[in-house]
Amino acid sequence: MPLAKLALEDGTVFTGRAFGAPGEKLGEVVFNTSLTGYQEILTDPSYMGQLVAMTYPMIGNVGTTAADEESHGVQAEGFIVRELTVPSNYRSHRSLDTYLKASNVTGIEGIDTRALVRHLRTRGAMAGVLSSLELDDAALVGKAKAHGSMAGKDYVKEVVPEKAFTWDRGFDTLSQHVLPARPITKHVVAIDYGMKWNILRCLVQVGCKVTVVPGTCSAEQVLAYNPDGIFLSNGPGDPAVLGYAVKTVQGLIGKKPIFGICLGHQLIGQALGGSTFKLKFGHRGANQPVFNELNRTVEITTQNHGFAVDPASLGDAVEVTHRNLNDGTCEGIRHRELPVFSVQYHPEAAAGPHDSSYLFEQFRTMLG
């Protein structure tokens, strides 16, 4: 394999071997602590603008398959692993290397990902460049410095669908998800800011016909569908710069029941008068503990976010329902009087865990 380098804006440089497509990719360097589900991670639109490092040392063992994609293709800018392994799985259609080549995404293997993650935990997520073309350290560091922070960037407009569409597919026979199938009796409009497809499968599974609309739409356009409820999806970038989306959510609150996940949660927080802030290195992984304030239980959750809602900025009408047990940050809110609630984590998680699947049933019950 040819050489590749990962350079961070603070001057740190890692040298490894290139895989995937030859090239040079810029983005915010972040890490994910999941043991499985690397294809779902790569195809999650929330990773737009980011170079993703996996903390688990061996990646690629299950190959790739279209059934595990969470969007129309790879969304991460680049991929960083300790060891690229040969696939050995009956579901695999292509190796990870071949998959990234076809997606024009560059990867690097053979670096000390443990050292990288420890560095990011200490210094915080930062801009970086991953290249198999340019190998001069100083030149690469200069490019990373020039890229700038994720703060202030709107990536939503790069991942939203061009037009509205309907979704009617629940889980296939291979799914191990815990949600029971219910007959389709309700209509939900899902506002897509960069949505994972498993969210749509969960909504269908609990009995909802789903109309998906772009995250740039207005409240009037959403309400024109006369839905029973409204869902706000995950998505990439800084929520603080999405004034157009906040305005839409403000126009929907009180009109229909609303459920938001991840970026949707952050938009609801802002629409209810709160503010968001950038986390030092974010929460990304499938083993994040969350405390449910309502029933006093702990949920193990999948998360992928670099920003959070400031609970101190929320008024008395808003209740914090979930908190992160690692750092105490806000993981869920609800309005005390109106049918509006949201969570920062991913209850639809693929490949899991499924501790929080009940939230889809909760939303379906809210629809009447």
42: left (phi over 0), alpha (psi -120 to 50) or beta: alpha
Q: Respond yes or no: is residue 346 known to be catalytic.
A: yes
Of 305, 330, 348, 354, catalytic:
348
| 330, 310 Cβ separation under 8 angstroms | yes
| 126, 9 Cβ separation under 8 angstroms | yes
CA distance 355 to 130: 36
- Using a 10 angstrom Cβ sphere, with 0-12 exposed, 13-18 middle and 19 or more buried, the burial of residue 57 is exposed
Q: What angle do CA 105, 108, 111 make, to 5 degrees?
A: 160
Residue 157 carries which side chain, given as an amino acid letter?
A: K
Paired tokens of 158: 């790069």
Of 177, 265, 283, 346, catalytic:
346
Peptide bond into 351 cis (omega under 30): yes
Q: Which of 103, 18, 105 lies closest to 66 in space, CA to CA? A: 103
Residue 316 carries which side chain, given as an amino acid letter?
A: D
CA distances from 258 to 1, 52, 139, 286 (A): 50, 31, 48, 25
Of 208, 217, 262, 330, catalytic:
262
Cβ-proximal residues to 37 (8 Å cutoff; 6+ apart), any chain:
68, 286, 350, 351, 352
CA distances from 6 to 83, 134, 135, 220 (A): 15, 10, 9, 46
Paired tokens of 91: 């579901």
Residue 268 carries which side chain, given as an amino acid letter?
A: I
Catalytic residues: 262, 346, 348
